[in-house]
C-alpha cells in the first residue's frame, strides 16, 4: 500500500482512502493568543509569570497531543489493514 502525505489531506492511500488533515492549531489559536498575552504582561521572574507560562505550556501540549494522536491512529490503521499484494 502506498501512502502520499500532503498538506490538504494528512494522507492519501493507494486504495483511494483519504485522511483529513487535523487543524489543532487553528482550534487552539484563540487560547494560545490569550495565554501568550498573559505571559507577556507578567513581570519576569515572578511566580505569577511562572503560573502563566505553565498554562500556556498546557495549551501547547494539548495541540501536540492532538497531532500525535491523529498520526498514531493513522499509522495503526495502516499497519493493521489487510495488505493485498499482486506478486
CA–CA separation, 51 and 38 (whole Å): 10
**What pLDDT was estimated at residue 84?**
60
Give residue-wise pLDDT tens across range 31-86: 999 999 999 999 999 999 999 999 999 999 999 999 899 889 888 887 776 666 55
Q: Is 62 left (phi over 0), alpha (psi -120 to 50) or beta?
A: alpha
Is pLDDT of 87 > 70? no
pTM of the shown model:
0.75
Count of Cβ atoms closer than 10 Å to residue 56 Cβ: 18
Q: Which helix (H) or strand (E) holds 36?
A: helix 24-41
CA–CA separation, 24 and 66 (whole Å): 6
**What pLDDT was estimated at residue 14?**
75
**What pLDDT was estimated at residue 64?**
94
Picking from 61, 80, 74, 85, the residue whose alpha carbon sits closest to that of residue 22 is 74
**What pLDDT was estimated at residue 30?**
95
Amino acid at each position: 500500500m502506498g501512502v502520499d502525505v500532503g498538506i490538504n489531506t494528512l494522507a492519501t492511500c493507494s486504495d483511494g482512502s483519504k485522511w483529513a488533515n487535523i487543524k489543532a492549531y487553528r482550534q487552539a489559536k484563540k487560547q494560545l493568543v490569550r495565554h501568550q498575552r498573559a505571559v507577556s504582561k507578567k513581570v519576569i521572574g515572578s511566580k505569577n509569570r511562572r503560573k502563566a507560562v505553565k498554562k500556556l505550556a498546557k495549551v501547547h501540549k494539548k495541540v501536540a497531543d492532538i497531532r500525535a494522536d491523529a498520526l498514531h491512529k493513522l499509522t495503526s490503521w495502516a499497519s493493521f489493514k489487510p495488505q493485498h499484494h499482486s506478486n
